[in-house]
Structure 1
């Protein structure tokens, strides 16, 4: 099975250790989603925009661990999406984003970059 990660689970990020047993398949962009900062990690919701992601092959144990981390309090819900690497799970944020900072670049790795004037 495969998973799409867009924030703290990406390479060299704070929660990347959860992906130790995962196989990186490649980078991609998902259209029709907006990325928001939730503090130390982000959330995506359906909306206008592009979000930069990584796709991994994972085993059932890793998926179970990620579900416990992401879905236990109803914060995220898994959604199956098509990717260039086959279908993959995406964790979609389920709570209101009012008052949260939208990351206009759609890239968690560039969240601290100043907004573009373009």
Structure 2
């Protein structure tokens, strides 16, 4: 199975250790989504923007660990997204984003460059 990561799970980010057993397949840009800054990690929701991400092949135990990390509190829900590498799961934010800073450039790695 494959997963799309767009923030703290990306290479050289704070939670990238979760992807240690994954196989990096490549970078990807998804359209139809917006990226928001939650502080230590981001949120993606359906919208009119684009989001820069990475696609990995992972095993079922890694997916279960990520589900426990991301979906247990209801903060995120997994959605299946088409990529050049095949369908991949992506965690989509489920809470309101009013008042959060939108990263209009769509790249978590460049968040410091955005107003």
**Scaled by the length of structure 2, what TM-score is found?**
0.98
CA distance in 2, matches of 1:41, 1:87: 23
CA RMSD of aligned residues (A): 0.7
Does 2:28 align with 1:28? yes
The number of residue pairs the alignment matches comes to 115
Aligned residue in 1 for 2:66: 66
Does 2:77 align with 1:98? no
Aligned residue in 1 for 2:111: 111
Aligned residue in 1 for 2:86: 86
Following superposition, the deviation at residue 114 of structure 1 comes to 3.8
* Structure 2: gaps spanning 5 or more residues: none
CA distance in 2, matches of 1:87, 1:114: 30
- Please identify runs of 4+ aligned residues in structure 1 that moved more than 3 A: none
**Scaled by the length of structure 1, what TM-score is found?**
0.96
Following superposition, the deviation at residue 48 of structure 1 comes to 0.9
Is the 2:103–2:114 contact (alpha carbons within 8 Å) kept by the matching residues of 1?
Answer: no
CA distance in 2, matches of 1:23, 1:107: 21
Aligned residue in 2 for 1:3: 3
Aligned residue in 2 for 1:54: 54
CA distance in 2, matches of 1:4, 1:99: 25
* Structure 1: gaps spanning 5 or more residues: none
